Every structure is written in structure tokens, then in C-alpha cells.
Structure 1
């Protein structure tokens, strides 16, 4: 194994530029944007939309089995049950601390830039807003925790409920671990199944450029470039706040652990471009987990931290909620007191968990937050409804970056980060986009 790795390090295979995945995805995004702009009628055709939706469905198809295999394998290979709890506690502590930074950045940028001041927006789309608000009301804390428990195990996998699959996977992993030597064959079966599912993912990823093309063409064709220009101030402010979080907060955290945030982003650029094209961070979940393992993070940490982070570490959503709440208040002429802004922090920390896994989660959590801070602000959601699609891209990108860094940090915290692999991958001594080679070299 070491000889294979040494060979891969000394002589990385150079791919032609047109065969590199991120280049193909980037081309798909650009072509999709052009088609949506020049031929909106064609771009909004059901078959064009199906290209993006179909790719996301293909990815979602394998998320549940990947989480199951990764979590079960990670726990089953651990001899000490206390270690699983220790990793979980460390991950949750990290999530809450970093999420607080994200919320604070949203508030600070919103107060300094004041993108909603003097805004004369219309209160259209009231019916659509009412629908989101109704969904938000249903997301109570008790319902959220009860929803984690599936009615049936098969139903959890069939519906693709990440938290439900995660709960069963943890219980099953502990059960296999308790079998000791008797569970050896079962552990081997789970490990081999994981390799097979990752093989399916490598095939699906070849369709990523087509999916990105379809999703981007439909988005631009349906909403138009004018939707971006109407509220360019809010969008620019949101991207600025997200950039500050990624490059400053996550950058400092990464430096403390011993790696560069810029090299890390370059390492996961394929996943970032897939998220950009599809507006869904879930579309990159399986390949992100694969890459983090190859980066030197232990299988047990990857299996526990990444799926949990997709529900409890939504940094981009946190920034969006505080910033959008301030924007709506400013646009409607409400001056929020310091106490109300602190309430936003507390409420948003809870509501960002309560709507995990729900379609339109960012907008639903915004409705829940506004309803608690001041019910009079809820109708103001109509102002940002038209551009939410464009802001969801940044939310998903920030969420992906936050969860990737979190996994590396918890691995280092747990003392299970292979720093030689980390340096080799980030310095591109081994091709990070070659998933098939990675199976044989790691």
C-alpha cells in the first residue's frame, strides 16, 4: 500500500483539461447561463429542468446507503464505545461555537451595510410567503426530535431522511460493535458495500456537467437576470458576509489546525462547482465524504461529523437568517432593538436545526425566526422571495465549506488526522479529483 502511495505521489497522472471534472462542470454552468439568458423559453422547458433535477435525484438516491455504510463501518471498527460519544460531543460543541460566529457576522454586516435602508419594495407573492410561514409554524422543537425517530427503518431509507438514517446507523453500528469477533463478516460486508456504492457515485459524477447545465439554464430562464439586479445590494451584502466567514473565520480555524483554507477550497473545487450548479449542498455530500477520508480524516469521524453537520452546522443558513431578518426590518421601517437582535441569535440557532432536511429550509427557517422576533415582519418575506433562489447558492456553498472544515478540525481534535496525507492532497501531489485511483492508493 505504501509503495502504491509513493508511486502516486512521485508521478501524478496529468489529465487533459477537458477531462477534469471541475472544468466540465464550469463549462456546463456557463453554457446553462447563456441558454437561460438568450433562450428563456427553451431553458424553462420541462426536459431542461429535468437535467438538473435528475442529477440531484441520482445523488440523493445514494446518500442514505452511503451514510449507513460509513457510519456503521466507522462505529463497528471502534473498540471503545465511549469514543463515539466523545466524537459526537466534540462535533456538537464545534458546531454551536462556529454557528454563533456565522450568526454574529450576519448581524454585524447587516447593521454596517444596512442594505434594506430606504428600500421601496412591493409586497407581492403574499400567498407563497404564507405557505412558507405555515411550514415554519409546524417545525416545533418537540416535532423535530420526534421526527428523528422513523416510523419504519425501510421508510427512513425510502424517504431519504438523513437524521432518521443516521439514528438507525448509529444504533446498528453499536450492535455490530457489541458482536465482537462474531460481527467480523458483517463488518466486511458493510465495508465492501461502501466501496460498491462509492463506485456508483463515481459513475453518477460523470453526469455532473449535464446536471449543472440544466439547473443553471432553468434558473436563469425562469427568474431572469433582472431578479438579481432588483435586489443587488442584499445579494452582494450576503456574499460579502459569507466570504468573511469562509476566509476569515474558517481561515483562522484552518490555520490553527495546520492547513490553508485556500488549498482546502481548491481541493474540494469539484464539489463547490457542483453545488453552485445545482443549488443543493446534498448533491456533493457523498463525494465530499470520500474526499475527506482521502484527505486523512478517520472513517469514524467522517461518518459521524459530516452527516450530523448537514443538520446541525448550517453556517450559510445562519448568516442568511440574521442578515435577511435585518434587511426585512430595515425595508419595512422597523428599528430592531439590541434585545431583539440578541433574540434573533438565539431563535436562529434553534430554527436552523428545526427545518433541516425540509425543501426550502433556508426560507422556512427565516419565516420561523421572523415570527418569533416580530410577527409583523413575516409579510416582508415577499421582498426576498424572488431572489431566494440566487441566495440559496451561496447558502449551500458556505454550508459545504463549513462542514468540510469541521470534519478536519474534529479529526485533528480527536488525534486521528493523517497529516502526511493532508499535506500530500492539499499540495496536489496526488490528484484529488481521481476517485477511482484513490480506491487503490488509500
Structure 2
């Protein structure tokens, strides 16, 4: 069983699990082309293994309930110690408890999941055995509930001006909250909704806030925080402007139970240029002004297939899209982004083989950025040379992700992957759970 040790010991162990490899690279300076040596830290994470679960047996030889499962942690990759909690939106197919196991397989320090089908209005209730097993695995694998960011159904539109349809969304929303509470989770992330172009955005924002207030009254004693997600800005979607989120939160009575999740792809598509350190800091300052950093409860780390201001929600793998590795280096070294779940919603390229190697590599790269972005050291430690060496290292990191993508048999030529299960799925859905849905349900906020 994993046991948490002091930060100092964990940091020391993290160093033991990494090695430095010297690579040669050519850079171009004012004096011409020259060769430099770059030391790159490699964090060793094995290919995601099958999780070995050993159920205890009764005297009759039958397996007990799932809450007595004993996990063989020796079959899992070691998790890197970092104050930036990186993970991915993993599958909960076969039971929510499997999400915990799937997160451990990829070396994640945080994870997201759907607590029920994201493409149905109603689902069977969680079983006692599933709830017990989820909690047991959370404990055995040392996952803190504060770093788990469940995602709500894409059918929900709390901003719908139609009272009957909004009520349908609310019931689905409330059911999600109750499921999170039963699992001992503390956060619940969802898309705010849409005005459908029928009413002014401010009217829909009030509807959303009213539903949040009502959900708080309907879940007395619960500590689950409702987490609004910023959006890309297409159509009549609410939440692409930080001011929208601030206006909704301003109308929520119990502000201890409301927060925000920032999606990097959505921010960029909405017009927030976060590619440079200056742009990132400016964006965070804008968020602090219109919403407040105290409300930041998580992030979705996604590259973008489309340009800044495109208003298109098109996720890409880290370092493959328009944002580049440097963007994520700004985030993974920003103390303001510590101690919250940082969740990948990037294409996993898993296909039918459930190949999660891309996520493993992305997590490895992001952890490397957080434990020491500028671990690249030039042979002569002068300013400009060090800058060039850092750029070379970023390129090597991005290339590493692209190599894994290529090895899985997928291609990102033209900004599209030929084998992504994300294709034709619910917009923004985690690729491992994306399935074909009826056209009328594809984006509920457009027709509900």
C-alpha cells in the first residue's frame, strides 16, 4: 500500500527515479551554427501495465465484495512527486472504481471521470459495492479527493430559457452531485450552458446561478463544490468570457461551494493568448479581476488544433497544437497553479487496444516541466546559450510526445488524428469514453 511521506523524502525519491541524459543539438546564433550539449532529465515510467487486483476470498472460496480488493501496487508505475497534480480524464467503464485503477496505470497524480453515462439523461444508481470499492482503491492508491475532478453530463444546460427543459437538466445535474457526494469526492465540474440565442446571456447566467443555489439547498451537509468550466465561445455558449463566470458566482449564495476550472484550449480559442509568459500572466490577472483566484479549483490541460480566437473547441496533444510546450511550462512552474487537479483531456490514441502510452508520455513531460523546466544545462552557462538550450529541450520534449503518437499508429497531419475515438463524439468528451451519440444529443446546449 502506498504511504505518503514528507515532501523532503518524496522529492529525494523523485530524483532517484529520474536520470540525466546528455544529448547533442545544433543551434543557430549570431556567430553561426554551433553544437551544444543539453542535459535532459528523463523520468522513468513504464508502459501502463494491467492492474493486478487480488480479491480476498470467503471460506466458500468466493470473492468478497469489491471493497475488500487488495491492489498489487508493484505492477504500477511510480508516481512522480510534484506540487502540480497532473493526470487525465480516464475511463470509468465497468464501474466508477475502475477510474481509480486506470489513473494509477498511467502514473497520474490526479484524474477526472464521469460518474455516470455522459450521453444519457438517467443512469442506474451506483451500487454499494462499487462505492465501497471506489473508496478502497482511493485509499490504497493514495489519491486525495481534492485532486479528483468529476465531469458532468454534456446534456446539461442550466441556462436553458425553457423551464421544462431546464428542469430536466437540473435533475441530471443534481443526480451527479449526489453521486459525487456518495463517493466522498469534493469537486464537480460542468459546462455552464447556453442561452440558445433566445434570451440575453445575463438571463441564462441568472438561471445557472439559481440552479446552483437550489442544488446547494437540495444537498444539505454535502461539501461538493460546483465547478464552472470556461468555454471556447462558439454560438451562444456561456462562459467564454471570464466576466460570465464572475457574474454567475456573484449570484451564488454559498460561495464556499462554487469554483472554476480553466481549460487551456478553451481559453486560447476564446481569445486569451497564453503562449508567452507575459500573455499567461496577463490572462491570470484578468481571471483574478473578473472571478478571483480563490475560486480556481482545477484546470484542463489541452493543446489547441485551432488558432487563438477561433472559438472552436478542438483539443490536441501537448506540444502538437498551436499552444506548444512552452505554454505548459509557464503553467507547470506557476505557484498559483499548485495543489489543484491539472487534467489532460487530450486524444489518447488508444483505439481498440486501449493504448494509453500517449497519456503516460504527456504526464511524464508535464511532470518534468514541474520538477524542473530548465533542467537543460548548456556547456557554457551564459545567458543566451542557456536560452537556446532551453528551447532545444522544449523541442525534444514535444518530439517525444509526437514519437509516441506515431508509434501508436495515429497521425496528427493536418491537425486531425486518423484513429481518434474522439471523432464525431460529444464535443469535448474524453476520448476513451467517447461513443457515437444521436445527432440531436451531440451538443445538448444547442437544442435543449
Q: TM-score, normalised by structure 1?
A: 0.25
Flag the structure with more relative contact order, 1 or 2, with Cα contacts below 8 A and sequence separation at least 6.
1
Q: TM-score, normalised by structure 2?
A: 0.25
- Kindly indicate which of the two structures has a greater share of residues assigned to helix: 1
